[in-house]
Amino acid sequence: MKKTRGGPPPVMPPGFQGDLFGASATPPAPPASSEEALPQARVVAMPRRPPPPPPPVDADGTALLGPLEGAPPPPPKPERSVLSVGELTRQLKQTLESRFARVIVRGEVTGFRGPNARGHWYFSLKDASAAIDTKVWASLAGRLRFMLRDGMEVVAEGSVDLYEPQGRYSLIVQRMEPVGEGALALAFEQLKERLAAEGLIGDRRVRPPRPLPFLPRRIGIVTSRTGAALQDFLRVLHSRNPRQSVLLADARVQGEGSAVEVARAIERLSRTDVDVIVVTRGGGSVEDLWTFNEELVARAIFASPVPVVSAIGHEIDFTISDFVADWRAPTPSAAAERLAPVLADLELTLATQAGRLRRATERRVLELREELGQFSAQLEDPRRAINHQRLHLSEQVEAMMRVLRPAVREHRDGLRTLSERLQRARPQARLGEQRAHLFKLAMRLSEAARSGVASRQATLAAAHLGLERASPAARVARERARLAAHRARLLALQQAALADAQRRFQRLEGRLDALSPLKVMSRGYSVVFRQRDGVVVRTSTDVQVGERLGIKLAVNGAKTLGGCEEVEATVTGVKGPVDC
C-alpha cells in the first residue's frame, strides 16, 4: 500500500513498527502456501544508515518549513495544574503521614536542652549525612527511666508529622531506648552510681551490712499476699519451724505505684517488734522486677533500723534492693532457708515451678502482645490529632508572644518619654515653695493655738482652785478613815470572840468524848443486842439458848454505832451469876 501525500497515515496491523520519523514500511504479504513462505523468510542483514537529523520545529511542534510530509498532527497541550501552598503542603502531609505512620530511627542526640516549661523535649537526631527535628511529649518524657544528653545514640520509634503552617516535618517519638543497652539497664546503672556515691552501696558504704539473727522471734515480710513468693516462703519456713511467727505487710510488687507501697510497708514493719524484714517477690522480666530498682525502695531499706533480707526473683536477677539490703537471697525459698532449715527437694520443686510459670507467662505475654498488635493495627491512632493540636497550640503561644513583645516595648518607650517630659518640667521647685508657705501658716496656727490653750489653762486652774476650796472631799476622807478604824476594831473583836468559842467548844468536845460509850468500847468492850428486835442485852435473862445475837465493836475510831464492826453469834448456853 502506498502512502497518500499530505493525508492521514495508513492503518497498520497490530504489532507492526514504523521507522524513526513515523513513516511505516510496507507490511509483508502473507504467504500463499508453505512452499512460497520459505524464500520470503530469508533476510539479508544490511548495515543501517544513521537517520538524518530532525528538522527544526516551532513551540507548537510544527516544522519551521511547514508540516512534514506524512507526520502525525501535534498532540494537544496539557492543561497546567496550579496548586496553592496549602494544598501542596496538605498533599505532602497526607503522603508522609500515611507512608511513615510507624518508623524506627537510629541517630545521635543533638541540641537537647532539657524539658521546656510544659515538660516537652525538643532536640534533633542526626547522623553523618542528615538530621531531623524530634519531639517527645511530656507524657512520654515522664515515663522514660533515663535522661538524654547530647552525643547519646538512641533508637526512636514514632511517626513522621508535617506541621502545615511552617511546612516543617518532624519525628514524634512514642518509644525510645539507647543503643547498646536498654533504657532500664541505663537507668539501673545511673541509680547504682548515684547510690554508691552517697555511700548506700559499694565499697564506700556508710553502714556495713548487719548480721542476721540466728533464730528471729518474728519475721516481717513485705510482698503481695496473693503472690506465689509468700506461699513459697511460708511453706519452707514452717516446714522447718512450724512455730515461727510471721508478720505480713501487704504491698503490690509490680505496676504503677507499687514502689510507694513497698517503701511504706518497710517503714511500718520497722516500727513493730520484728527482728528481720524480708522483701521478696517471684521471678519475672526486668520490667516486672523494676519496683525493686526504684530509689524510694532503696532508701527505705537503708533507713530500716532492723536487718533487711532482699529475696527478689531468681539467682540470676539482680536489683538495687539486693545491693542495699543487709543480705541477698537468690530466691524467696533461699531467704526462708537462711532464717530456718531448708529442704533440697522443696528448693528444686520451687525452682522448677518458677521456671514453668515464667515460661507460661512469657508465652502468654507474647500471645497478648500479638493480639495487641493486631488490634492496634486496626485502631486508628488518636495521638496524631493530639500531636497536631499540640503543635498548633505551641505555634499560637509563640505568635502571641511575638505580638505582645512589640506592644510592651511601645508602652515602655511611651513611659520613658513621659518621664523625660516630667523631668524637664521640674515640679520640685513649685512643691518646695508651696511647702515653705504651708510651713509658715502652720507656725502661725501653732502659735495662735498655743496662746489660746495657755489662756484657757489659766482660767481652768483658777476655777479648779475655787472648786477645791468648796469641795467636801477632805471631810469625806476624814470620815472614811474613822470608818476604817472602827471596822478594824470590829474585826479584831469578832476574831477574839470566835477564838474563845472555839476553845470552849474543844473543851466540851473532849469531855463529851471521854463520856462517850464508843470511847469505852474502843478499850475492848462491846455492845450485845438481839437481832430479832434490836434490844440491848444487859443480863443473862434477856437471852435464850439458840437465839442469834449481834456484837458491835468500836474499832478504827468509829464515831457512831452504824460505823462499828458487827459480829453475829448464837447463844449455846446460859450460866448463872459468877464473879467477873
Residue with cell 547519646: 152
CATH of the domain at 167: 2.40.50.140
Position 220 scores a pLDDT of 92
Do 323 and 230 share a structural domain? Answer: yes
Do 232 and 169 share a structural domain? Answer: no
Do 227 and 108 share a structural domain? Answer: no
Q: Which amino acid, 165?
A: P
DSSP state of 563: G
> How is the beta sheet containing 327-328 ordered, strand by strand?
245-250, 218-223, 276-281, 308-312, 327-328
Burial of residue 173, with CB atoms counted within 10 A of its CB: 0-12 exposed, 13-18 middle, 19 or more buried? buried
Is the Cβ–Cβ distance between 304 and 274 less than 8 Å? no
- Separation between Cα atoms, residue 200 and residue 308, nearest integer Å: 14
- Separation between Cα atoms, residue 279 and residue 322, nearest integer Å: 10
Asked whether residue 131 is assigned to any structural domain, the reply reads yes
- Separation between Cα atoms, residue 352 and residue 360, nearest integer Å: 12
Q: Which amino acid, 378?
A: Q
Do 360 and 215 share a structural domain? Answer: yes
Which residues constitute the domain of residue 525? Answer: 518-570
Is the Cβ–Cβ distance between 93 and 387 less than 8 Å? no
What is the grid cell recorded at 248?
Answer: 505480713
Asked whether residue 21 is assigned to any structural domain, the reply reads no
Q: Which amino acid, 179?
A: V
Do 189 and 174 share a structural domain? Answer: no
Q: Which amino acid, 198?
A: E
Do 265 and 193 share a structural domain? Answer: yes
Is the Cβ–Cβ distance between 535 and 527 less than 8 Å? no
Asked whether residue 164 is assigned to any structural domain, the reply reads yes
Asked whether residue 342 is assigned to any structural domain, the reply reads yes
Q: How many domains does the chain have?
A: 3
What does the pLDDT look like over 76-114, one tens digit per residue? 666 778 888 888 888 888 888 788 888 889 888 888 888
> How is the beta sheet containing 548-553 ordered, strand by strand?
526-530, 548-553, 565-570
pTM for this structure?
Answer: 0.35
Do 204 and 308 share a structural domain? Answer: yes
Q: Which amino acid, 377?
A: A
Burial 375-404 (b: 16+ CB within 10 A, else e): eeeeeeeeeeeebbebbeebeeeeeeeeee
Residue with cell 525452682: 351
Do 294 and 147 share a structural domain? Answer: no
- Separation between Cα atoms, residue 438 and residue 436, nearest integer Å: 5
- Separation between Cα atoms, residue 187 and residue 319, nearest integer Å: 12
Asked whether residue 485 is assigned to any structural domain, the reply reads no
Asked whether residue 251 is assigned to any structural domain, the reply reads yes
Is the Cβ–Cβ distance between 289 and 261 less than 8 Å? no
Do 234 and 153 share a structural domain? Answer: no
Position 3 scores a pLDDT of 41
What is the grid cell recorded at 189?
Answer: 546503672
Q: Could you tell me which of 345, 351, 352, 319 has the C-alpha nearest to residue 332?
A: 351
Asked whether residue 552 is assigned to any structural domain, the reply reads yes
The gap from C-alpha 30 to its chain's centroid, in whole angstroms, comes to: 92
Name the domain boundary from 180, 214, 229: 180
Do 265 and 166 share a structural domain? Answer: no
- Give the H or E element holding residue 245: strand 245-250
Name the CA dihedral angle for 299, 301, 304, 310, rounded to a multiple of 10 degrees.
-170
Residues 6+ apart with CB under 8 A from 109: 123, 124, 125, 148, 149, 150, 151, 152, 153, 154
Q: Could you tell me which of 146, 154, 149, 148 has the C-alpha nearest to residue 127?
A: 154
What is the grid cell recorded at 127?
Answer: 547522623
Asked whether residue 350 is assigned to any structural domain, the reply reads yes
All residue ranges of the chain with pLDDT < 70 are 1-78, 180-184, 341-347, 380, 426, 429, 522-524, 556-559, 561-563, 576-580
- Separation between Cα atoms, residue 168 and residue 93, nearest integer Å: 10
Q: Which amino acid, 447?
A: E
Q: Which residues are paired to 63 by β-bridges?
A: 57
CATH of the domain at 340: 3.40.50.2300
Q: Is 172 helix (H, G, I), strand (E, B) or coil?
A: strand
Residue with cell 492496634: 376
- Separation between Cα atoms, residue 460 and residue 477, nearest integer Å: 24
Position 345 scores a pLDDT of 58
Q: Could you tell me which of 102, 138, 144, 98 has the C-alpha nearest to residue 118?
A: 138
- Separation between Cα atoms, residue 211 and residue 306, nearest integer Å: 10
- Separation between Cα atoms, residue 96 and residue 99, nearest integer Å: 5
Name the domain boundary from 367, 384, 419: 367
Q: For the chain, how many residues are written?
A: 580
- Separation between Cα atoms, residue 467 and residue 56, nearest integer Å: 143
The gap from C-alpha 153 to its chain's centroid, in whole angstroms, comes to: 30
Name the domain boundary from 326, 345, 367: 367
Position 44 scores a pLDDT of 38
Do 566 and 552 share a structural domain? Answer: yes
Position 577 scores a pLDDT of 64
Do 262 and 198 share a structural domain? Answer: yes
- Separation between Cα atoms, residue 122 and residue 135, nearest integer Å: 5
Position 580 scores a pLDDT of 55
What is the grid cell recorded at 383?
Answer: 495521638
